[in-house]
Amino acid sequence: MVSYSALILILVAVAVLTLLGVDSAVFGQETTQRYLSARIEIWALFYRLMVVAFVIGAVVMGTMTYVVWRFRESHPKNRADITPAAGGAHH
C-alpha cells in the first residue's frame, strides 16, 4: 500500500507537469507585456509558497525540539521512572 506522503508527492509532480504543459500552450501567443506580467505572478506565487514551506518546517522542527527536550531521560519529571526503587529487589 502506498503511503499518503508518496501519494501526495506523485500528485504534486503530476500537477506541476500539467501546469508546465498548459504554461507553454497559454503563453505561446501572449504579448511581451502580458508574458512578463505572468512571469512576475509566477515568481510571486513561488516565493509565497516558499514562505509557507519554511513556516511549516519551522513549526515541525520546533515541535520536534520540544518533544525531544521534554521527554529526555535527564528531565526531572522523568527521573523517577528510570531510577531504581531504594531497597527494592528485582525478581
2-55: per-residue pLDDT in tens? 677 777 878 887 777 776 666 555 556 666 777 778 888 888 899 999 999 999
For residue 62, pLDDT over 90 is answered with yes
Provide the sign of the torsion angle of the four alpha carbons 49, 53, 59, 60, taken in this order: positive
- H-type alpha helices, the chain: 4-26, 32-70, 76-82
pLDDT of residue 50: 95
pLDDT of residue 60: 95
Find all residues with CB under 8 Å of 38, minimum gap 6, and list them.
27, 30
Q: Give me the amino acid identity at 9.
A: L
Give the Å distances, CA to CA, from 75 to 47, 66, 80, 81: 40, 12, 10, 11
pLDDT digits (tens, 9 = 90+) for 21-36: 665 555 566 667 777 7
pLDDT of residue 33: 76
Q: Give me the amino acid identity at 37.
A: S
- Give residue 61's pLDDT band: very low, low, confident or very high (50, 70, 90): very high
